Amino acid sequence: MSGDSEKSSEKTGYFMYVVRCSDGTFYTGYATDVERRVATHNAGAGAKYTRTRRPVELVAHAGFATKHEALSAEYHFKRLGRADKDALLAKAQLTPFEDVLAQAFDLGIKSEEATHGGEKRHEGPDGKR
């Protein structure tokens, strides 16, 4: 399983996760506690989609600093076709899922704020000030 990186555990508890259902389909969601959410799905009390596709298995999860970032990643991932999802999940076997998602989508997430003279730099979409 990917997504168990230290990077995920360092984030403040906003996660986007992907589970594989018993029929081979993926379900993607948002949670503040991924293990508890997966257990809820497997207990039949989770999303309607997963209730008839149990058991589910956690494939990957990514941690984010804000709820907005996690929900944005979920939204973008859900819009992909199966082949694209498979490709990203394969990359996540070697690279933290957060990094895979950041490379695939323009989520506006930066690992470090660029500073200049103690002030935050605001860059445009072309990378220029």
- DSSP code of residue 104: H
| Per-residue model confidence as pLDDT tens digits over 83-116 | 999 999 999 999 999 999 999 998 766 543 322 3
State the pLDDT at residue 109: 63
Which domains does the chain possess? Answer: 6-105 (3.40.1440.10)
- Of 65, 49, 80, the residue nearest 15 (C-alpha): 65
Which residues are CB-neighbours of 38 under 8 A, at least 6 positions away? 17, 19, 56, 58
pLDDT at 129 over 90: no
* Better pLDDT: 13 or 90: 90
What is the reported pLDDT for 95? 95
Q: What is the mean pLDDT of residues 123-128?
A: 42
pLDDT of residue 113: 32
The confidence score (pLDDT) of residue 107 equals: 76
CA distance linking residue 127 with residue 129, whole number of Å:
7
For the cut 70, the answer to whether the pLDDT of residue 117 exceeds it is no
Which residue is listed with tokens 């594989």?
20
* Mean of all residue pLDDT scores within the chain: 82
